[in-house]
A and B are shown apart, each in its own frame.
Chain A
Amino acid sequence: MALLDVKEMTQYFGGLCAVSEFSVSLEPGQMVALIGPNGAGKTTVFNLISGFYKPTRGDILFKGESIKGLKPHQVTGRGIARTFQNIRLWFEMTVLDNIRIAQHHALGYGLWDCFLRTPRYMQSERAIEDHAMDVLTRLGLREVAHEYPKNLPYGVQRMVEIARALSIRPALLMLDEPAAGLNSSDVEGLIKLIGDIHKDFGLTVWMIEHQMDVVMTLCSWIKVIDFGATIAEGGPAAIQNSPEVIKAYLGDDTI
């Protein structure tokens, strides 16, 4: 059974059709890419799936259940985590706290436990902290656990954001332009990191990316959209040679 099954998802903003009849089916363990020119509606697709917008039409099935209309935090609780195009960490609190807060879905206690510091509360807090440190260690971020993200270099901030998404223990990780703003040596590190994460955590990874070396190295399947509509899909080689894709990126050469 497909992990994520998006069926003819369509979204209008006023009269503008941002995403039109978008369908995709992701098998567990796949690594796929969503590419397209600027303004094609890629981030909107991610926003629709993560529950930030509710699609006008169509349905989204995750592990066989519809997640359409769920609130973002519920979607995340089901096992879909994502990162953002522009880094959205909580810059005024430590890296460790950033990870801890992302465990709200796994909070095993309520307000009263928190007032009374019940065993349940203590246990849950300890588990959360151990898990957070564990994720940070696995990504080699242990040293920065008590730093504030605002003081970290851009590349490390990106890593922290990925760590935060991973700490949710997702089945599906959606990366929105993970390589944006990174220099070429950082990009190489990123390619290795994503490959490792994919293997170690046994995830399905879906990314939006403009840098073709990232996409072509990592992804087995690529979907191309433009003006909200799918224009091509297939393996890396097929996409590279697709006349539709070349036209979308470079324009029509008949002019």
Chain B
Amino acid sequence: MLQSFLQNILNALQWGSFYSLIALGYCLVYGVLLLINFAHGDIFMVGAYIAFFVSMVLLGKYGAMAGLPGWLVLTLAVPLTMILTAVVGVTLERIAYRPLRRKGVNRLYVVITALMCGLILENGNLALLGASRKSFPTLIPVQVYTFFGITVTNIKLMVIGVAFLSFLLLHFIVTRTKIGMAMRAISYDRFAVPLMGIPADTIIVFTFVLGSGFAGLAGLFFAMTYPVIDPYMGALIGWKAFIAAVVGGIGSIPGAFAGGFLLGFVEIMVVAFFPSTFRDLIAFSILLLILSIRPTGLFGVARRTKI
């Protein structure tokens, strides 16, 4: 009993890590621009595909170069995937969001654009690469360790470790560095920041680099853990990571991180006791409940309207 409980906790930690990593991206962009980047889940999907192609090329599967050993491929794939995914995110910012921001249109239009960009990425990918699922190559052999009847794989440990490290890094950037301070300043007053001599657009691009980069990282590790990728993988997990961010109180980095793990735990526990088809139903119901009771999430702070 205790064993299966601990095993579930471990699984939940891993599952929650993905949510956390994606939720951090939502949270960064929201924290700075007050924009829900609805395309973020699909950027995660694109990240997984980028990781797939990067690994395949590096492994020499396409014949472009001699194959490298798996561990080296992984080491190279991490930065490459992050950079390439960041490029995708920034491109989106440049061609879709920034012109709208410049025009100073209703915030709603930016949100709609974000949602539509997500659909374009999703379906564009489907149209270009086809609906067939791709199986991700094995980069490092899976090793199973058993402690007191609990099984852990090296990938699982790696995922959890990466999630924690990413959180610490992002938290450090946002709270302790000058650029982080500028990010927070933009979220308070986007119009005053350029007047103080801070290049707002640069900061916003940096935010998208960070958010998308970590989505790419999540995509890579997700593909390593569940080695099948398809164009729709980002949609649902993206929505749920968003739930996690909202539950934690969107805009708060520790909130997003905690929310991700919370959702992971809830889902794993639901699956432990109910049929697995109930998972989404319960996850979304929890979101609805939390937002109805506490619209600002667990860690969020309401902004007072002035009249």
Interface, chain A (partner B; CB < 8 A): 13, 43, 47, 52, 84-85, 88
Contacts and interface: CB of A to CB of B under 8 A. Distances in A.
Closest 7 CB pairs of A and B: A84-B307, A47-B307, A52-B307, A43-B307, A88-B307, A13-B304, A85-B307
A43 B306 CA distance: 10
A225 B64 CA distance: 79
A84 B304 CA distance: 17
A250 B304 CA distance: 30
B108 to A, nearest CB: 15
A13 B303 CA distance: 12
Contacts of B307: 43, 47, 52, 84-85, 88
B52 to A, nearest CB: 49
A45 to B, nearest CB: 13
Interface in B265-307: 304, 307
A47 B304 CA distance: 13
B251 to A, nearest CB: 19
Chain B interface size band reads: under 10
7 contacts: A13-B304, A43-B307, A47-B307, A52-B307, A84-B307, A85-B307, A88-B307
B106 to A, nearest CB: 12
Contacts of A85: 307
A26 B304 CA distance: 30
A85 B304 CA distance: 17
Interface string B219-235: 00000000000000000
B197 to A, nearest CB: 28
B8 to A, nearest CB: 40
A81 to B, nearest CB: 15
B304 to A, nearest CB: 8
Contacts of B304: 13
A152 B304 CA distance: 30
Nearest to A176: B307
A84 B307 CA distance: 7
A88 B307 CA distance: 9
A85 B307 CA distance: 8
A16 B307 CA distance: 18
A11 to B, nearest CB: 13
A52 B307 CA distance: 9
A43 B304 CA distance: 14
A221 to B, nearest CB: 25
A13 B304 CA distance: 10
B131 to A, nearest CB: 45
Interface string B196-221: 00000000000000000000000000
A117 to B, nearest CB: 33
A43 B307 CA distance: 8
B171 to A, nearest CB: 25
Contacts of A43: 307
Nearest to A86: B307
